[in-house]
Amino acid sequence: MPLHAKWKSDKLLAFAMSEDEWIALKRNPERVYLKMPCCGCRAIPKTSKLGTQYFSHWKKGECTSAPETAEHLALKTIVAKAAQGQGWNVTTERKGETPSGEAWVADVYCTKGKVKIAFEIQWSRQSEDECNRRTEKYKESGVRCAWFTKGSKPSGYAINYVRDLYDLPLFEVTAQGASFKVVRYGVDIADFVSGMLDGELKFLPKQGQDLLVQPRIQQDKCWKCEQSTGVVIGVNYFSADKDYLGGSSFEHEAGFIRKNYSNETLLRFGVGSIKDRYSKTVEHYYLSNGCINCGAIYGNHFLQIEFLHSEYDQPFEYIEVEELTACQQYDLHTHSLEPSWFFRGEKGT
């Protein structure tokens, strides 16, 4: 069900009309000239149970356009209004096609200068392959596409990706009545779209970006002597502005840690030396943590588990200690840190 209709030589945008204007349109005798954009049949202005203004077919005919849920209509309206509020030219149900002739219809279509963005609302079941296929059509047409999907549902209902992708900005949304929030950042959808179009959504780190690196230190009770010791379970990465970007486990970064943080420095922060130790479990020597008191080895398997548990504590704060800070240039192809979407400096959960 569209948010726009044809009226004589004009195009009416339901999301751009005030409540009073909408009521006046419903009472206007010339409303009989309203036409649906999908099939040209007569349209009537309606209001959904969530208060969304939209156009519907006057009577059921042969039109093949699919119906939309009240949530889908509401989200289209919120996104369109937010984009319009940021100075973008906005329309809905915008039809287009790729250079090879494949058709697409954007839920919300925004332009500013040469920039073109399509917002897709996916409130029904859709496979990842289908999402990628539709996104690729926009890419071929020179249109950037972002997705808002229904969150907090069983697997296969909402689209879930293991990692963030630059070519597929996809964010889960939850609904409570007429209120919608982006799950990952806990912000209202209108605020998110406004910030997104204002450059506050960034994919970081970028190729070649300079990173600040600090050890992720955790206190533990030694398994052998039962005394307290510090262990390096991984590293934390920060931007030049000291925003937290993510972390990587000790096993992946052992060489970098040994090279950039001397045992003397680690000792001053309550951490045992990083050196080659023999492991009876794997029956060979490898670069490892050790207890500051008795030197007992801390195995990588244990450190990996501790690192994963500590991920729930993010974002981590930058420590203003020069001795604990190293620099590294980001290389997407070799680095263990995968880039992610950050909104106003937050990676979200």
Q: How far is CA 109 from CA 69, 80, 188, 195, 217, in A?
A: 19, 8, 20, 17, 47
The pTM of the full predicted model, rounded to 2 decimals, is 0.83
Question: Tokens representing 327?
Answer: 């620099």
Longest dimension (CA), the chain: 90
Neighbouring CB atoms inside 10 A of 238's CB total 21
Mean pLDDT of the chain: 92
Q: Of the segments 47-61, 65-79, 181-195, which one has the largest average pLDDT value?
A: 181-195
Lowest average pLDDT, out of 137-151, 155-169, 251-265, 315-329, goes to 155-169
Amino acid at 82: A
> Above 90 in pLDDT, residue 187?
yes
Structure-model confidence comparison of residues 122 and 38, the more confident one: 122
Amino acid at 274: I
Helix or strand or coil: residue 95? Answer: strand
Element (H, E) at 224: none
Q: What confidence score (pLDDT) does residue 162 get?
A: 53
> Above 90 in pLDDT, residue 33?
no
Q: How far is CA 266 from CA 77, 212, 257, 272, 325, in A?
A: 55, 17, 10, 7, 12
Q: How confident is the model at residue 315 (pLDDT cuts 50, 70, 90)?
A: confident
How far is Cα 247 from Cα 79, in angstroms, rounded to an integer? Answer: 33
Q: Which long-range contacts (CB under 8 A, 24 or more apart) does 232-235 make?
A: 232/257, 232/261, 232/266, 232/271, 232/274, 232/289, 233/303, 233/306, 233/307, 233/310, 234/303, 234/307, 234/310
How far is Cα 25 from Cα 3, in angstroms, rounded to an integer? Answer: 14
Q: What confidence score (pLDDT) does residue 221 get?
A: 97
Structure-model confidence comparison of residues 155 and 170, the more confident one: 170
What's the gap between Cα 295 and its chain centre?
Answer: 43
Q: What is the pLDDT of residues 212-241, one digit of tens each?
A: 999 999 999 999 999 999 999 999 999 999
How far is Cα 313 from Cα 308, in angstroms, rounded to an integer? Answer: 10
DSSP structure string for 14-31: GGGS-HHHHHHHHH-GGG
Q: How confident is the model at residue 160 (pLDDT cuts 50, 70, 90)?
A: very low
End-to-end CA distance of the chain: 33
Question: Tokens representing 165?
Answer: 């992708």
Neighbouring CB atoms inside 10 A of 70's CB total 17
Q: What is the pLDDT of residues 166-181, one digit of tens each?
A: 999 999 999 988 899 9
Q: What confidence score (pLDDT) does residue 303 get?
A: 96
How far is Cα 118 from Cα 107, in angstroms, rounded to an integer? Answer: 7
Q: How far is CA 125 from CA 182, 204, 244, 273, in A?
A: 18, 29, 34, 52
Lowest average pLDDT, out of 2-11, 79-88, 118-127, goes to 2-11
Q: What confidence score (pLDDT) does residue 154 get?
A: 41
Spell out the alpha helix ranges (H) of 293-348.
300-310
Q: What confidence score (pLDDT) does residue 156 get?
A: 39
* Domain positions in the chain: 4-57, 93-199, 210-343
Spell out the alpha helix ranges (H) of 98-166.
128-140
Q: What confidence score (pLDDT) does residue 157 get?
A: 38
